[in-house]
Structure 1
């Protein structure tokens, strides 16, 4: 399997853990002291790092650091929007579309040397 595909798959899984670590406590631990939320989040984030570190190491064999970061941001938004709408019950906003379009521009500029 190609390094880029492996890296993207690992980053997708990593971002699911990251999103839960950063935001699930807002719903699940509401009313608990922040220190409890911090330790629970750190516990979840451990799994995120166990996927994210190899994802970046593998991805770096085929992509530049800038390209890898932009891929990460696209994946982050792709995971965060459904999470916020379905799990946190936040309204779907047009702003997500605009943010996504900005990321499309970022992808273009980071990868344009591969297109031209």
Structure 2
């Protein structure tokens, strides 16, 4: 593992990669509405397998320095960021102001989760 991939950084990198795969597994098929549902499900499971191969080590490695609540919060915030980029770049959808406000409120939860009271 490269020196910059510390237990603090590697879970973030792995969670970003896992979320890219999971976003494609869950939403990538929306561009292929003519594809049979059974085929979409099988393809999504295959993509999700890669996601699990990244998410499980991310949480295992990350739990050495982060609590489970902190890891889950990171995962949710990363998911929203990845989804926004995916939705805009891949699906061509617009992120409206109300989406941005809702996502920002969820991201604000990170402050409370990571703040040591």
Q: Does TM-score exceed 0.5, indicating one fold?
A: yes
Structure (1/2) with the larger helix percentage: 1
Partners in 2 of 1:100 and 1:61 — Cα distance? 28
Dislocated runs of 4+, deviation >2 Å:
none
2:102 matched to which residue of 1? Answer: 99
1:26 aligns with one of 30, 55, 63: 30
User: What RMSD in Å do the two structures reach over aligned CA positions?
Assistant: 1.2
2:17 matched to which residue of 1? Answer: 13
1:62 matched to which residue of 2? Answer: 65
Q: CA deviation at 1:51?
A: 0.5
CA contact (8 A) 1:81 1:96 kept: no
Partners in 2 of 1:96 and 1:4 — Cα distance? 29
Q: Normalising to structure 1: TM-score of the pair?
A: 0.91
Q: Which runs of 5+ in 2 are unaligned?
A: none
Q: Which runs of 5+ in 1 are unaligned?
A: none
Q: Normalising to structure 2: TM-score of the pair?
A: 0.90
Q: CA deviation at 1:94?
A: 1.1
